[in-house]
Structure 1
Amino acid sequence: MAIDLTGKVALVTGASGGIGRAIAVALASSGAKVILNYLNSREAAEEAAASIRDSGGEAVAIQADVSKAEEAERLVGEAESAFGRSVDLLINNAGHLVQRIPNEEMTEELYERIMDVNLKSAVFVAKAVIPGMKAAGGGSIVNMTSVAAHNGGGPGASIYAASKAAVLSYTKGLAKELAASGIRVNAISPGFIGNTAFHATFTSAAAREATIQSIPLQREGTPEDVAGVALFLVSDLSAYLTGETIEVNGGMFMR
C-alpha cells in the first residue's frame, strides 16, 4: 500500500540535517508540503528545502528557536501562512544533549537548556498546532524520544535521558487528551543513529565501534531508518495507533 500525503502540510522541527532532514524528504516524497524548521543552520535548511523543490515537492525553511514558547507559536503561524492552511502533521524532532556533564557539576542554566530544547519545545509546538488540527478534524503528532529514556543514557547524560523520558510520558498523556479530536500522538525512540551531528559531537570513534558490535543487527542506524517509521506513523497505515513509542535501534534495546 502506497503512502499518499498529498494535500497535507507537515512541520518538522530541527530539520536542517540528520534525522529531521531525512524525515522532511520522506514526507515530501509522499506528497506532503513540508516546513523545515531550523535554529542556526540556515544554509543547510535552505539547501534541503531547495532539494525537495528540485525533486518536484513543496518545501520552505523557517527559522525559530522552538525552546522558547513565543518562538514556537511564531513558527506555527508562519508555517500556516506558508501554505495557506493549518498543519496536519507535526514531527517534534528538535532536541539536543547540549553537553555531557556529571550531575554534581550540573548548573541550573544547563539543566533548563536541556529540558527546554527536548521537552518544552515539543509541548509548545504541539500546543500551537492543536487548534488547527482540531478545526480540521484530526492530525498526527510524532515526538522524538531516545533509547536513553529507557537506559539512562551514556556518561554525563542523565538530564538528557530524563528529558527524553519525559517526552515519552508526555506522548502518552497527550494521546489520551487528543484522541477524541481525531489527533493521534506517537513517539519514535532512536538508538545509535549514524550520520548525525549528535554522534559526531558526543561519541568517540572507539565508542562508536563498541556500540555497533553490541547491536544485534550489527550496524548503526541511518536517518532514513527513522524517517521510514515517521512516515508510517503519520500515514493511514497507523490509523489505530496512538500513545505508542516505536524503538528504532537494531535490537540494542527490546521492550
Structure 2
Amino acid sequence: MPTLHEMFDVRGKSVIVTGGASGIGRAYAEVMADNGARVCIFDIDAKGLEAVVTGMVARGGDVWGQALDVADRGRMAAAFDTVADRHGRIDVVFANAGIDAGPGFLSTEGQRLPEGAIDALDDHHWDQVIEVNLTSVYTTVKHAARHMKYSGGGRIIVTSSIAAQINEAIVGTPYMPAKAGVDHFVRQMAMELGAYGILINCISPGPFMTNIAGGRLKIPADRRAFEGQSLIGRIGDTEDIKGLALYLASPCSSYMTGSQIVIDGGAMLRFR
C-alpha cells in the first residue's frame, strides 16, 4: 500500500497555472511548488507575476513565469510549447484565469442597479467575460490535451464557481453562463480525454478573498452579504483551497474525472 506521502506526491511534476499571479491561482502555484513540482505561471499582470515568481523562488521553489493574455490563442499555444520544451513534458494544468463580471441587477440591500440590468449591459463587457472565463478554458484544455496525449496522460484542474450551479442577483450576469459553460465543458472533456489517461475536474469555490472580489469585499455591506452566505460565518481564504488543489493534482485522485467539487463554507446550502 502506498504511504500518505506517496499518495500526494507531485515532486518533479511539470505544472502550468493560468492567472497565477494572485488569488486562488497563486495558491495553486504555491502548494505545487512547495511540494516539489516545477511550476510555470501564466498571467497578464507582468509586474505582479515577477513579484510572485521572485518570492516563490526565494523560498526554494522551481518557479518561472510567462506574461501573457489567456485570450491570445497564438500566445497560449506558444507558451505551452515553451513549457514542454523546458520541462520535457506537461503533467498538470490549472485553468484558473478569470475576471470579474461587474455588478448584478440587485445591490446587496436588494435595490435595483440600473448599470447591472441586461438592457444596459455593454456588449464588449459581455464578450470579454465570456472570452476570459469560458473561451480561455477551452484554449487551455486544448493545448494541455495536445501535450498530455503525447506524454501518456495528465491532470487538468479548472477553476469554476458555485455560480455555475445557482442564480445570484448581486453578481454580474455574464459570469453565470460563463461558469455554467465551464462545468459542462469539463464533463464533456472528461468523456473524451479519459481514454488517454487525462483526468479533468472542476474546483467550484464560493466567496473567496481574491483580486476579483477583493475590491468589492472592502465595502462593508458587500462583505457582510457574502459572509452571510457561509455556514461558518466567513469568506474563504486562499489557504483553504490548497489541500484540494494538491489532492486533484496528485495520485490520490486517480479515480476522479468530470467532477465539480464545491468548496464554499456551505454557501450552496443557502440556495436550496
TM-score by length of 2: 0.88
Find 1:8's aligned residue among 5, 9, 13.
13
Q: CA deviation at 1:213?
A: 3.0
Find 1:65's aligned residue among 62, 69, 82.
69
Find 2:198's aligned residue among 165, 180, 183.
183
Q: Please say if 1:145 is aligned against 2:160.
A: yes
What's the counterpart of residue 248 of structure 1? 263
Q: Does structure 1 retain, via aligned residues, the 8 Å contact 2:101–2:173?
A: no
What's the counterpart of residue 111 of structure 1? 126
Distance 1:139 1:38 in 2: 22
Question: Which structure has the larger Rg?
Answer: 2
Q: Does structure 2 retain, via aligned residues, the 8 Å contact 1:63–1:75?
A: no
% of aligned pairs identical?
A: 30
Q: Does structure 2 retain, via aligned residues, the 8 Å contact 1:189–1:246?
A: yes
Q: Please say if 1:91 is aligned against 2:94.
A: yes
What's the counterpart of residue 110 of structure 2? none
Q: CA deviation at 1:69?
A: 1.6
Distance 2:171 2:34 in 1: 38
Q: Does structure 2 retain, via aligned residues, the 8 Å contact 1:142–1:187?
A: yes
Q: For residues 100-127 of structure 1, what are the alpha-carbon distances to aligned partners after superposition, in whole Å with 9 as ceiling and x for unaligned?
A: 3321112332221010001111101111
> For 1:151, what is the secondary structure of its paired residue?
coil
Find 1:30's aligned residue among 35, 44, 48.
35
Distance 1:87 1:122 in 2: 16
Q: For residues 14-53 of structure 1, what are the alpha-carbon distances to aligned partners after superposition, in whole Å with 9 as ceiling and x for unaligned?
A: 01111111110001111110001110x2222122212222
Q: Does structure 2 retain, via aligned residues, the 8 Å contact 1:103–1:156?
A: no
> For 2:161, what is the secondary structure of its paired residue?
coil
Aligned residues: 252
> For 1:125, what is the secondary structure of its paired residue?
helix
Unaligned runs of 5+ residues in structure 1 are none
What's the counterpart of residue 20 of structure 1? 25
Distance 2:214 2:249 in 1: 29
Distance 1:235 1:56 in 2: 20
The verdict on how the C-alpha distance between 1:145 and 1:242 changes in structure 2, with shifts beyond 3 A counting, is: same
> For 1:158, what is the secondary structure of its paired residue?
coil
CA RMSD of aligned residues (A): 1.5
Q: Please say if 1:199 is aligned against 2:202.
A: no
What's the counterpart of residue 81 of structure 1? 85
Q: Does structure 2 retain, via aligned residues, the 8 Å contact 1:22–1:227?
A: yes
Q: CA deviation at 1:61?
A: 1.0
Q: CA deviation at 1:156?
A: 5.2
Q: Does structure 2 retain, via aligned residues, the 8 Å contact 1:102–1:156?
A: no
Give the 4+ runs in structure 1 shifted more than 4 A: none
